[in-house]
A and B are shown apart, each in its own frame.
Chain A
């Protein structure tokens, strides 16, 4: 187990001529020992590049990577003492489940008794004890992925365990279970874990701290709650939550955000760079529809089972509101929200919020 330091890491495939040639623009982060972290972002955001740099499959063009205080930048994967679980299950078909899990231990010459005890423990953990002595061939995808996971957890001395979209091949219902098991495993094992995904639910539920990546940069690193309530960048607001945060263009004047006829009081905020686009961000979950507030033009109400999504317009700007499953829209509906629900953005970056009386 170790603290992972990414020291001003940059990476380009090929020789970079300009800033946009970098797949990873600049990442500087320190991940503490025993933490659960997630790298979240769309395809092409650089998250897989970063993961490969941590695992040692790629050497960064610039910067260093440290485990605790030891520089790992030039060490190959095999010497970094990490475990990794891949998107598609990797199992050794010809071996039994037991042998599969014992494999990384045997390769490193662990004593037999210790290996056996450890394997038994892991098999119990991944709930496959009953099948320990059958061959891995012909198992279902989620069983195979559990074995990959078990092999990752087998070594008691790893610096970190990396997960590369490990639940891709798992059915939705099984996902809920495996995700919770992973989280429980983290609690019990105390390994430093890094989880890479494009799925916000997986990232938020698994990790204590989530790094949201966009265009080769970490745009925000924070707890799930911070990412939800205070997205530092409008991309985070859009990417996290479904539907994502509503972004409405406003004019900022005299401590108020002006949207149509609405004048929304703002709290203290940083100076707005000249020419920057100003927007307010409102989470659909934090909006109220009732008889108070600004006039709302409802367009349609989508029933998605456990809740309803109201698509509406506020002074001509489209807006989504998340409502409970039994919600009804009153005649002449109005929109209201608490000042805490508001985030103010200039040029995409958060500069302030609503005025809290």
Chain B
């Protein structure tokens, strides 16, 4: 188990990581989600021992490893750039960490074949990395990290330089590859969709702080605050500035909804409501749905669904509707929203209560 205890890093008066505590279990897949410069890479460098925390400590399996340099730890890393030995064949690339460990030849052969099979590299073992496609080059780098049998495998946006479709394929395979090894995997990404596809646990980072850590679906459905909700929303969240008074929700002076049961604990006063674009629908799904009048700004058709940008007063919202809808800008449009889908945040951005979901769907299938 890898544990950070109040670990922080400051460089030249600039704080890269605020004091942060985190426990990562063996055999787990952990996603670090955050925008560029949110501290993902800094945090990985602390975990790896490439950087030393300026305060706090790093523990591995109950031992303090704070001062132990990366060479003496058992770590593998995969980068955004495809880092392979250009002069070696794919086979030798994958075998290189095993050779360094001085393992017997037959054992190396078996391990390399197994990893190549897992990552679908078997036909290319005798080729040089630069003769392969980007996706195959990155598979080689991943195979090398997996075969090393390290306790901790760090992947820093490994798919960012790959084509959309290749990313999709590798994303689907990675959890299986990770499950087959017993290591702690840490996977940094800027894309919420990637975190959702990978599953496991997610740590949302924002400006060098750990905003929330927990099972990916739990974080997605019950963000602790607005920062997490926003960082984890793709497409971006729709916001609605409102006020709670008794049993009613008010927008300006007009009441637009009774307070849904899951928000009944919220105190009276101003609150910021938020909901996902796909929860705003073109037709009501039930009698409880709110009707919200908007004006269309732009409709983007994405094949199977349409992303409709709308305005409501000063708010800019979006609807994600299945099917193709060509709607001219300026057209009035009613959106429907189940109030049970509303998330509410107080003036400081803390979640009042998360949107209601059935307990069953919290468990990731498969």
Contact = CB atoms under 8 A, between A and B. Distances in A.
Direct chain A–B contact by Cβ atoms under 8 Å: yes
Interface stretch (B1-9, B287-295, B356-364): B356-364
B278 A225 contact: no
Given A173-B236, A240-B303, A198 B366 contact: no
B220 A198 contact: no
Contacts, number: 117
Interface stretch (B187-195, B239-247, B266-274): B187-195
B304 A241 contact: yes
Interface in A275-331: 283, 285, 299-306, 308, 311, 325-326, 328
A336 interface: no
B259 interface: no
Given A204-B302, A224-B324, A242-B168, A303 B365 contact: yes
Residue from the set B199, B302, B329 with the largest chain A CB neighbour count within 10 Å? B302
B177 to A, nearest CB: 16
A200 interface: yes
Nearest to B235: A176
Interface string B165-189: 1101000000000000000000000
Contact of A199 (B164, B235, B363): B164
- Interface residue tally on B, bucketed by range: 35 or more
B298 A308 contact: no
A303 B217 contact: yes
Contact of B365 (A44, A184, A198, A308): A308
Contact of A302 (B191, B278, B318, B366): B366
B283 interface: no
Contacts of B309: 180
B196 A305 contact: yes
A300 B358 contact: no
A187 B329 contact: yes
B118 interface: no
Nearest to B164: A199
**From A43, A224, A306, residue with most partner B Cβ within 10 Å:** A306
Contacts of A285: 304, 322
B301 A302 contact: no
A200 B220 CA distance: 25
Interface in A89-122: none
A302 B365 CA distance: 5
Nearest to B303: A228
Contacts of A306: 276, 278, 320
Contact of A172 (B168, B190, B329): B190
A179 interface: yes
B302 A183 contact: no
Nearest to A44: B133
Interface residues of A, number: 48
A345 interface: no
A243 interface: yes
A223 B166 CA distance: 24
A227 interface: yes
Interface in B117-169: 133-134, 163-166, 168
A183 B220 contact: no
A190 to B, nearest CB: 15
Contacts of A308: 361, 365
B303 A225 contact: yes
B36 interface: yes
A326 B36 contact: no
B64 interface: no
Interface in A164-195: 171-173, 176-177, 179-180, 183-184, 187
Interface string B309-339: 1000000001010101000010000000000
B322 A180 contact: no
Nearest to A240: B303
29 contacts: A42-B163, A43-B133, A44-B133, A171-B35, A173-B35, A173-B230, A173-B233, A176-B235, A177-B236, A180-B298, A180-B309, A184-B297, A184-B298, A187-B329, A198-B163, A200-B302, A204-B302, A205-B300, A206-B300, A223-B301, A224-B301, A227-B303, A285-B304, A285-B322, A302-B366, A304-B193, A305-B193, A305-B217, A328-B360
Closest 4 A-B residue pairs measured CB to CB? Answer: A300-B366, A301-B365, A228-B303, A205-B300
Interface of A: 42-44, 141, 171-173, 176-177, 179-180, 183-184, 187, 198-201, 204-206, 223-225, 227-228, 238-244, 283, 285, 299-306, 308, 311, 325-326, 328
Given A171-B190, A302-B197, A303-B361, 11 more contacts: A43-B133, A179-B300, A180-B300, A198-B163, A199-B164, A224-B324, A242-B168, A303-B363, A305-B192, A306-B278, A328-B360
Interface of B: 35-36, 133-134, 163-166, 168, 190-193, 196-197, 199, 217, 220, 230, 233-236, 276, 278, 297-298, 300-304, 307, 309, 318, 320, 322, 324, 329, 357-358, 360-361, 363-366
